[in-house]
Each structure stands twice: as C-alpha cells, then as structure tokens.
A = this chain, B = another copy of it.
Amino acid sequence: MTLDREQVLRSAAALLTRKSTATMDEVARAAGIGRATLHRHFAGRDALVAALENLGIQEFEAALDAAALDEGSAEDGLRRLVTAVQPGAGLLSFLVTENQLFEGDDVNEGWSRLDARVSAFFRRGQERGEFRIDLTPAWLTEALYGLIGSCAWSVQTGRVAAQDFSYMIVELLLGGARRSVEK
C-alpha cells in the first residue's frame, strides 16, 4: 500500500505541464490520492517542484547518456537526443519556464551541468565543421530548449503529430526552413 512516489511525480508532471498553476489539491486529485497524503510526502509546493526538478534533470541526463552524442555524426547524435527527450519534453519545458520565474541565484547545479553538456556538443560540432560557427553554442542550446517546448505544445494542441516530434525539431534546427537548391 506504500505510496508509489514515482507514480505521483509522473502524474504531477503531466498535470503541471498542461496547467502550471494547478493547486496542490488538483495535483493530489490527479494522482488519485488525498491532499493530506501528498503533503506527507512532499513538504509543500516548493518541495514538490524540487522533486520534479530532480526527476526532470535525471531524465534529461539519461537521455543525454542514451543519445551517445559523440558516436557517428553530430546530426545523428542530435536526432537520437531529441527522440530520447520526447517522453519528458513536457516536463522539461515546464521546468525551463519555472526556472525563468525563479529569482534566486542558487540555480540547481544540475541545470548548469546539462547546459554545459549540450553546449559542448554544439561546440564540438562546430569544431568538426558540421555546424555553422556564426550561431553560438549558447544560442543553439537555448533554441533547442525553445523548439522542444514549442513542439511539445504543438503536439498537445494537435498542430503537430506526435510521431513527427523529433523530425520537426531536428530538421528545423539543423536544416532550416529554406529550401536548398540541391534538394
């Protein structure tokens, strides 16, 4: 009967992804538990968000590991990364938004580590001549986050099919919308 903490976090993530202002009561209902029980496991809203943050960081880091960014071309690596990220895309964009809201310098060090990994990936791609050098790694990183968020939202509203998720992001990020002559 012990509460499935993981399951609670999953449903909370799913709900907060759609409605980031959901109350503790709504989160509890969505998880199928009572508000009191939710409070027993997460001291308060802050603690809940912190737990979600850890979950998101862990998932994103796992996606980075699974993508094996350095194997093969940078393009293939990015494609694997976006595909691996898709299941947690909603949570990721919720956390990015939440982080922007957050005014405090003590940013979770997990984010800087992840940012560094993504940024380093783009930099290596530039050094290997696969990526343009006039778009900075920092911007490409932010743009990737933005596109993931936009595409997750587009999927949720039906503007983009879920199966096209990684294609739309990677093609736009790498190839751009311009129609090249040789294609």
Check A132 against B175 for contact (C-beta < 8 Å): yes
Contacts of A138-175 to chain B: CB distance below 8 A: 138-140, 142-143, 145-147, 149-151, 153-154, 159-160, 168, 171-175
Q: What residues of chain B lie closer than 8 Å to A160, measured between beta carbons? A: 136, 138-139, 142
Tell which of B97, B139, B172 touches A176, judged by Cβ atoms closer than 8 Å: B172
A60 within 8 Å of B (CB atoms): no
Q: A160's closest neighbor in chain B, by CB?
A: B139
Provide the main secondary structure of the chain A interface.
Answer: helix
A3 within 8 Å of B (CB atoms): no
Q: A102's closest neighbor in chain B, by CB?
A: B19
Closest Cβ–Cβ distance, residue A78 to chain B (whole Å): 9
Total interface residues in chain A, CB < 8 Å: 45
Q: With A and B bound together, what is the CA distance between A129 and B135 in angstroms? A: 25
Check A129 against B178 for contact (C-beta < 8 Å): no
Check B153 against A172 for contact (C-beta < 8 Å): no
Q: What residues of chain B lie closer than 8 Å to A19, measured between beta carbons? A: 101, 103
Given contacts A101-B21, A129-B179, whether A135 and B168 have CB atoms under 8 Å apart is yes
A-B residue pairs, 8 tightest by C-beta: A176-B176, A146-B150, A175-B176, A146-B146, A174-B178, A138-B159, A142-B150, A142-B154
Not counting A19-B101, A138-B159, A139-B159, a sample of 11 additional A-B residue pairs whose C-beta atoms are within 8 angstroms of each other reads A19-B103, A130-B179, A131-B179, A132-B171, A132-B177, A136-B159, A140-B172, A142-B150, A146-B147, A175-B178, A176-B177
